[in-house]
Amino acid sequence: MISIAIPSSALINENDPKIKTFKVGLIARACAIFRVEEVVIYRDPKLNESQFIKDVLEYAETPQYLRKYIPLKPTLRYAGVIPPLKIPSHKPKRLKVGELREGVVVRVGPDGTRWVDIGVKALAPLKSKAKRGARVTVRVCSTNPLVVEEDKPKEYWGYKVVIDELKNVLRRENVVITSRKCEVPKLDEVKNVEDITLVFGSPEEGVFEIMERLGIEWKGKCWNTIPMQGVETVRLEEAIFATLSILNYVRWVE
C-alpha cells in the first residue's frame, strides 16, 4: 500500500480558495494516477487547513452520483474546478451485471435490510451491517430485479483520507521523508519497498524544518527524488507527481 503524508500548511502560499481547491485536486489526481490508497494530513500549527484539504480530497474521490450525499460546506464552494479522477469506482449510471459499484446506505428497513443508492433510480436491497449513510462496495448480481451483494474490489478503488499528528506518522514502518537535503535512493532501495508512507513538506518548509519547529527528532529513510532540480523550490504537487512516478516506474520495471 502506498500512503502519502502532507502538511495542513500545504496551501500556505495561496490566498484564493479557487486556486487552493484546484491544487488539492491536482494532488488527488496524482494519488489516483499512481494508486495511492491513503492520504494523511498531518497538523502543522503554522497553518491548519486540515479540514479544507480533507473535504476537497474526499469530494474528488467520491463517485459523481454519490456526491449529493455530501453536505454543502464552504470548503467545497469551488468543487467545480476539481479535475475528474475517472478511477474504476466512478461508474456511469448504466448498470452491468457482474460489475462492482460504490453505494450509500440510504435507509435501514424494519427487517434489517439495507437500501442502497448505487446510482440508478431504484434503491438496491442489501444484506449488510453497514449503518445508514455509510459507503459500501457491492457487486451487481442482477439488474431486473435489482440484486446486489457486498464485495471487495480487486482493482484500484480510491484512497482514504485521515488527519493525524506528524509524530504518529513518523512512527510507522517504512516511512520515507522526501527532501532535497537527502541522498538519491538506490534502485534496489526503492524497488524492494512494499508498504510505504512518503512524507512531504510544505511550500515554505521542508519536513526537517517542520520537525525542528515541532521539536521532533527522527532518524530514518530520506530520499531526494528530484536531484539537480533546476528551480529554487519544487511545489508540493510537483514533488508528489515526481516522487510517485519514480516509485511507480522502479517498482514495475524488470
Statement to judge: residues 118 and 232 lie in one domain: no
pLDDT above 70 covers a percentage of the chain that reads 100
| Distance between CA atoms of residues 198 and 215, nearest Å | 20
Q: What CATH number should be reported for the domain holding residue 223?
A: 3.40.1280.10
- DSSP assigned state of 46: T
pLDDT, tens digit (0-9, with 9 covering 90-100), for 40-96? 999 999 999 999 999 999 999 999 999 999 998 999 999 999 999 999 999 988 899
Residue 139 has pLDDT above 90, yes or no: yes
List the one residue out of 216, 182, 237 whose CA is nearest residue 44: 216
User: Whole-prediction pTM value?
Assistant: 0.93
- Enter the C-alpha cell of residue 238: 510537483
CB 118, CB 124: distance < 8 Å:
yes
Helix axes of 17-33 and 236-252: crossing angle, nearest 10 degrees: 0
pLDDT in tens, 169-202: 999 989 999 998 888 888 887 887 778 999 999 9
Domain that holds residue 146: 100-150
Question: Which of 131, 132, 114 is closest to 123 using CA atoms?
Answer: 114
Q: Does 55 share its domain with 136?
A: no
* Rg, C-alpha atoms of the chain: 20
Write down which residue in 112, 128, 150 finishes a domain. Answer: 150
pLDDT score recorded for residue 231? 80
Evaluate if residue 105 carries a pLDDT over 90. yes
DSSP notation for 135-193: EEEEEEEEETTEEEEE---SS----EEEEE-HHHHTTSTTEEEEEEEEEPPPHHHHHT-
- For residue 230, is pLDDT > 70? yes
**246 and 211 housed in the same domain:** yes
Within-domain flag for 128? yes
Q: Is 246 left (phi over 0), alpha (psi -120 to 50) or beta?
A: alpha
pLDDT class for 219, splitting at 50, 70, 90?
Answer: confident
245 contact partners, CB below 8 Å, separation of at least 6: 34
Residue 171 pLDDT: 92
pLDDT confidence of residue 190: 84
